[in-house]
Amino acid sequence: MSFDPTTPLLGCTAFLLGAALVASFVRWPGWAIGVYTTVQLWQSYQSVPGSRSGAGVDLLPTDVLTMCLLAASLIILARRRGYRAPLALLALLSLTACALLRGFGRFDAQTVGNEARTHFIQLLCVAFFVAVLSPGRPLVRTVARVWVAAACVLSLLALLWWLEAGIGSNSEQVMVDGVLTNARALGPAEALIIGQAAMFLLCGRGLAGPGFLAWPLLMVVVLMQHRTVWLAVGIMFIGWLLTRRHQRGTRLAALTVLGSLSTLGLLAVSWGVAEGVTSSLGASSEDDATLVWRVEGWLALLPRLDGVLDWLVGLPFGSGYDRMMNGVLITFSPHNYYLEVLLRLGLLGVAALLALYATAGRAAGADREDGLLIRLLICGHLVFMTTYPLFPEQAVILGLLAACARPRNDAPNPRTTQESPCPTRPHSSPASPVRTARI
């Protein structure tokens, strides 16, 4: 067997690059959040092949970033001894590890890894990194800026698509490079990010940009024609609007903008300008075949849980999601994250997931600055998960919610004057002239 000198050289280079990434993520967490979100969205937009059972594990850039983020989170925890990771998130990670180990004992590693890495390993590891960061306004501001920047880029890409292919409904297809594809500009993951960015702008004054930018983003969400995203963002927007009862000016401005957009829409319809758009929106809102098909798939998967153990901790990764529907074998995961967690992590996993959101919602009640934003993001996630899984980009939001759910007394307190290590520094009494002058 001949020795290839390039192999250890490439290995050392990869190790050094990984170590540099981990060090930069520990030093600049905002950079880590921005890099992961950018790479993940680029992967989704370019349709980089994801996990496929039995097709081998394709190492993607986000897989490498996930491992680096996990290593960085462990370093942050080791350096900050007073910090405690959210128990619900730790429970989800532990149940995922158990399901992985059980899967490795029954199936090949490729099948197990491909099935678990996107909606469980990547999602929970990245969320864990964000969750161990210091909770508070700086973390919310960092996530808000990344989300608004991503939403603006995605909206521009959607505009370019519409100029080329037009605005299509969920039931239409267009020919792109000789392949039939869905006529919608972007997927539900990107549409949800745009809607969440609008909430950041509406709820957080000065977080990531001017509030009026939220209105064109909301219009983009409507034209995306993802009904679940419509419902999730609509509930968040209604929740924000109802809280404006004590701020008449803001509420009046919001209603004025909505009224103006509605008037323009009616005028466009009457002039025949928006005939294609309105017919497309109507087709998306009236088509219920997709929902019925999904519900039938959910009911077909539940009988796979057989016995108390399966209901408690779920089936191991690698078991697949095979079900027969109308005489056709369906193999991909269900469009419901609650069911997906139930099948792989059992009732304990579903309870841990809901406990994370419940804890974050309770903690948001004491947060006067960002409490409303946190509650709206929770509502959006709970609605979105009914027909879609949590995509890897949402790990940042999940981690933000987990960080906000942590008690604020976890953070190390700054040293007071009495705790100063310098023995020669005098300690002035509360009534001393020096302290009075300093105040």
Q: What is the pLDDT of residues 249-298, one digit of tens each?
A: 555 655 565 555 555 444 444 444 444 555 555 555 455 557 777 888 88
pLDDT at residue 422 is higher than 50: no
Distance CA 95, CA 156 (A): 40
Q: Which of 35, 75, 58, 186 is nearest to 118 (CA)?
A: 58
pLDDT at residue 430 is higher than 50: no
pLDDT at residue 433 is higher than 70: no
DSSP 8-state assignment for residue 273: T
Q: Which of 89, 76, 97 is nearest to 32 (CA)?
A: 76
pLDDT class for 337, splitting at 50, 70, 90?
Answer: very high
Helix (H, G, I), strand (E, B) or coil at 5: coil
pTM: 0.81
Distance CA 278, CA 304 (A): 42
For residue 382, report the phi and psi dihedrals to the nearest 5 degrees: -60, -35
Distance CA 151, CA 393 (A): 12
Distance CA 329, CA 297 (A): 11
Residue 24, Cβ density class (10 Å: 0-12 exposed, 13-18 middle, ≥19 buried): middle
182: which strand partners?
A: 173
**What pLDDT score was predicted for residue 180?**
57
Distance CA 59, CA 243 (A): 46
Q: What is the pLDDT of residues 44-86, one digit of tens each?
A: 887 655 444 333 456 788 999 999 999 999 999 888 776 677 8
